Amino acid sequence: MTTQITPTSELQAVNIMLSTIGEAPVNSITGTTTVDVSTAKNILNETSMSIQSQGWNFNTHTNYKSLSLDSDSKVPLPSNCVKADANSQFRHLNYTIRSGYLYDMENHTDVFTTAPKSVDLVLVQQFNDLPEYARQYITLKAARRFAARFIGDKEITQLIGQDENEALMAFHQADSQESDINMLEGDSNTFSIIHRPTRRNY
């Protein structure tokens, strides 16, 4: 009989975090919850946002084309967008995101005569939409932060930190492998976004 293995859910992630301080698992993280559960969920969300905002293969969209001007001649970006930039074909342009709109850093404006044909965007995903390697790393990083905040036991946080480091290595390996596949199947735009210099904090 084959054991079915399912990806880590947000509920499972919170329960892993609770286990680091000796708390029993819960059946739900919605509605009215304890302070511990609420804090764990907040730290999980903060950690996920922090990691995803750096932009990885799984949430970096090259040549995003669904752009249009609104009635104010601005270019609204998806609500989960945390980073915007010109793609490799228009590297002389300098875009960013400001107040939910595309902003032209060169001309200091968010008003456009026409919407760009395409841009590169980093879009934050819901936890349950992430690949498993990202869920694992985010969960363990959040668990270490959670344990440090609640109990401050260096030995426990160091043990969790070891698991976190292993998850980080697996994260890098998996993301790099996906990047290589997309590079081979994609074009020069894909290559440039993967190999663009960036500063990432772990």
- Residue 156 within a domain: yes
- Residue 74 within a domain: yes
Higher per-residue pLDDT: 195 or 97: 97
Confidence (pLDDT) at 125: 97
Per-residue model confidence as pLDDT tens digits over 22-31? 999 999 999 8
Q: Is 90 exceeded by the pLDDT of residue 91?
A: no
- Residue 2 within a domain: no
Q: Kindly state the percentage of the chain with pLDDT values over 90.
A: 74
Q: Is 60 exceeded by the pLDDT of residue 194?
A: no
Residue span of the structural domain in which 151 resides: 10-54+131-194
In one-letter notation, the amino acid at residue 128 is N
* Six token digits for residue 98: 């400001």
Number of structural domains the chain divides into: 2
d(CA 104, CA 34): 45
Q: Are residues 173 and 74 in the same domain?
A: no
For residue 93, the tally of other CB atoms under 10 A from its CB is 15
Q: Show Cβ contacts of residue 187 under 8 Å, excluding neighbours closer than 6 positions.
A: none
Per-residue model confidence as pLDDT tens digits over 34-59? 999 999 999 999 999 999 999 999 99
